[in-house]
Amino acid sequence: MKKALSIFFAILFLFAAGALYAADATYGPKVYKTDGGDREVVASGGKISVESGGTIDVESGGYITGLSLKIADIVMTGVDYTLSAAEASCNILVVTGSPSGQAIIAPSITGTGVSRLYTVRNAGSDSGAVTLKKTAGTGVAVAAGNTAEVYWLSTDYVRKTADATH
């Protein structure tokens, strides 16, 4: 009787552990701690969220699938244009209207080792260049009818590529 009772409780324990594992694997977000620190990575609803200040490190040879680029259409009217938060998060800035040699004011980037890369296409209707820069910065001028890649380098935006005609 004692042996049968022990087997019954062992089977009951294994069944309960399996049910808990299945419930955990099916429902609710998964929270992962990083390197024993207090930052979290949460996987839930088909998304991965990383706390502010956290990073995702893709190992050598790895890549992220489904990565898409966002485009902001900037209509210039001959005065400086300050990017909204939504526009600043885009990768490609397409300028139309009349840039007339004015600037797009993009956010300054803080933090060591942090940058931002923009592809700037000047499709303006006049012959004026458009300059991507921080507030009170020098930045990079992109001539009318041209496209260039521009990135943040510690104190202002700098050119990554020469202008290319589009």
Write out the residue range of the structural domain in which residue 156 sits. 71-165
**CB-based contact 138:148 (threshold 8 Å):** no
Q: 14 lies in a domain?
A: no
Sheet containing 140-142: order of strands: 81-82, 103-105, 130-133, 140-142
Does 133 lie in the same domain as 109? yes
Confidence of residue 19 (pLDDT cuts 50, 70, 90): low
69/87 Cα distance (integer angstroms): 12
Does 148 lie in the same domain as 85? yes
Question: By CB neighbour count within 10 A (0-12 exposed, 13-18 middle, 19+ buried), where does 156 fall?
Answer: middle
Confidence of residue 9 (pLDDT cuts 50, 70, 90): low
Does 49 lie in the same domain as 101? no
Confidence of residue 51 (pLDDT cuts 50, 70, 90): confident
Does 114 lie in the same domain as 38? no
Does 150 lie in the same domain as 79? yes
DSSP symbol at 110: -
Quote the strand ranges of 58-115, DSSP E: 71-77, 81-82, 92-98, 103-105
pLDDT digits (tens, 9 = 90+) for 53-96: 677 776 666 666 666 788 999 999 999 999 998 899 899 999 99
- What percent of the chain has pLDDT above 90? 45
Does 145 lie in the same domain as 107? yes
Does the pLDDT value for residue 22 go beyond 90?
no
Query: Residue 121's pLDDT is what?
Result: 96
Residue 106 has which token pair? 């993009």
Q: 4 lies in a domain?
A: no
